Structure 1
Amino acid sequence: MTLAKRIAAVAALAAVVALGCTARADQTTDKLKATLQARLPEVQIKSIAKAPIPGLYEVNLGSQMLYSDATGDYVIAGDLVDTKTRSNLSEAHLADLNKVDFASLPLDRAVKVVKGNGSRRMAVFSDPNCPYCKQLETTLKSIDNVTVYTFLYPVLSPDSVTKSKAIWCSTDRAKAWEAWMVDHRPPASTASNCDTTALDKNLALGHGLNVTGTPTIILADGHRLPGAVSADELNGALARAH
């Protein structure tokens, strides 16, 4: 057998072994997912993969990472930290798993506000009655050169729906949103013939993206920032994502 044929044979054997390992891994994770989902029906398991620690599997719940042995008999709730780098591996991997394709967002269903040259972009899922959302709007007053797309996401109360409809149906949505969130001036009543189906679609979109709290910021690179972050943190994140 020539050297070239030997190399090809070794490569083919390696591919078969790798495929077998992948199949076994899939069977293990599939079985583990079924076991855990049956034993923990109150949570929705999005995915399961091998953890950096041998014999341990990470269980992705969307907003939280759990860790389990291969049988599903034992589960650990908490963050996995690399002591060499002091980095939170759970948080970092969860952020990657929860990345959003910014280009796929239906920005026509958002309230658009341009500040400065608008070169940096971000989207926000926000409820008009959310105090942290109002805090974020105040913070945004000090942020320049950004385009903010706010998806009205009325999840807190029936009044949130009423206010969201009134803002969406305003002649100037951006001005009505800021007037309420920053200056506490209520939007005018909703016209009876105004189409507010965009709000229902926003709710479905948010649920599909696992938006469990407001405000949730989505940066141009797809990463998320939960909560009312500080101006410094937001500026830094916008610079990294730009």
Structure 2
Amino acid sequence: MNSADTRLGRELAKMRRMEGVPFWTLLASASLTLGMGAGVVAKSVQAAPIASVHVDTDLVREALKLRLPKTRIGAIDCSRFGGLCEVVAGTTLFYVDRTARYLMIGRLYDMETRSDVTAARLLELNPDLLAAGAAGKRDSDGDEQPEAASPAAAKVDLGQLPAKGAIHWGPATGPKLVVLSDFHCGYCRKLSSELVKMGARVEERPISIFGAESRKLAEAVLCAGDQQAAVHAAYDGRPVTPGAKCDTSGLDANEAFAKARGFGGTPVIIRSDGAVLQGFHTADQLKAFVAGGRA
């Protein structure tokens, strides 16, 4: 047992009688320690979908409200990890069973893809913290040590992006935004709903944060006959039927553009003048951003 696991054991003993800010402060610390401790935020981390029976996440949420009434629960995903549901509370990540009776704190591994799915999700939730932690020692499986992340750019030159890496959707007369995204990113999915709500004209540029499966889905959407329908199908978790083979080299350019500017997570929202806004934002916040203010 390493020092992180020992420390987690001591913290769990405290958590049993705690909730609210102290509870989740400790939980966030434990989650981040375990997510970063192995130094496994690798270049191709992915969380492949696993077939499972349908779970009503509304019922899971209600059960969590009863057991953790002071805790603000965010996204709940019961579709990818067999009998476990992934729960987001702020910048914290944990897992529960389908009845929300049992709560698990720690790393979840996909043994088929040899990937740490918890580290990948924590990278999405806390890109700056995890990028710093991932620069430490690599795990002992022989993978290359991840490179240290560059500071994220606050403004970019959109003229350096090629046309063929873009997927356009939304009304042609709507306010225009460029979005760097991953179709497997939960916050990108939530953002897409807000973009629809505000009537935005979106230039979506996929980057494969979650590895090969994300790239495969991005290629299917890019090559689809109806790209707008394909975007919404991808975010809804519905099958995307790819059209004829097309030039997907623009996706490589998207990823190179994001990496060079220090964007290690998604979504990244870019205004027409190149101003950058990272993370999920509501339709009202996006309208303020488009108008030239802060979200």
Query: TM-score, with normalisation over the residues of structure 1?
Result: 0.55
Return the offset for 1:236. 0.5
What per-residue deviation string (whole Å, max 9, x for no partner) do you get for residues 86-110 of structure 1?
A: xxxxxxxxxxx63112344324421
Q: 1:177 aligns to what?
A: 231
- Per the alignment, residue 207 of structure 1 pairs with 259
Among all aligned residue pairs of Structure 1 and Structure 2, give the percentage whose two residues are the same amino acid: 31
Say whether residues 1:225 and 2:281 are aligned partners. Answer: no
- Mapped pair 1:149 → 2:203: yes
> How many angstroms apart in 2 are the aligned matches of 1:168 and 1:220?
22
SS in 1 for 2:254: helix
Change (3 A) 1:44 1:160: closer
Rounded to whole Å, the distance in 1 between the matches of 2:271 and 2:163 is 13
Q: In the alignment, residue 205 of structure 1 is paired with which amino acid?
A: F
**AA partner of residue 174 (structure 1):** Q
Matches within 5 A, 1:71-90: none
Q: Alignment RMSD, CA only?
A: 2.4
Distance in 1 separating the partners of 2:281 and 2:195: 10
CA contact (8 A) 2:165 2:254 kept: yes
Residues 44-90 of structure 1 deviation map (CA, whole Å, 9 limit, x = unaligned)? 69xxxxxxxxxxxxxxx514xxxxxxxxxxxxxxxxxxxxxxxxxxx
Within a 5 Å distance, the mapping from 1:73-152 to structure 2 comes to 98-115=154-171, 117-118=173-174, 120-144=175-199, 146-152=200-206
Letter in 2 for 1:216: V
Deviations 1:106-132 (A, max 9, x none): 2442101132623x2210101010001
Distance 1:227 1:106 in 2: 23
Distance verdict in 2 for CA 1:116–1:127, change over 3 Å: same
One-letter amino acid matched to 2:256: A
Letter of the 1:186 counterpart: P
Kindly name which structure, 1 or 2, has the bigger radius of gyration based on alpha carbons. 1
5+ residue gaps, structure 1: 1-40, 46-60, 64-96
Count of paired positions? 149
Structure 2: stretches of 5+ with no match in the other structure: 1-134, 137-146
The structural deviation recorded for 1:179 is 2.1
> Which segment drifts farther, 201-210 or 125-134?
201-210
Measured in 1, the distance between the counterparts of 2:252 and 2:292 equals 32
Aligned equivalents of 1:218, 1:163: Cα separation in 2: 22
Work out the CA distance in 2 between the residues paired with 1:44 and 1:157: 18
- Please tell me whether residue 164 in structure 1 is matched to residue 226 in structure 2: no
Task: Please say if residues 270 and 277 of structure 2, whose CA atoms lie closer than 8 Å, have aligned partners that are also in contact.
Answer: yes
* Residue of 213, 226, 240 corresponding to 1:187: 240
Opposite residue 197 of structure 2, the aligned amino acid is: S
Q: Whole-Å Cα distance in 1 between the matches of residues 214 and 240 of structure 2?
A: 12
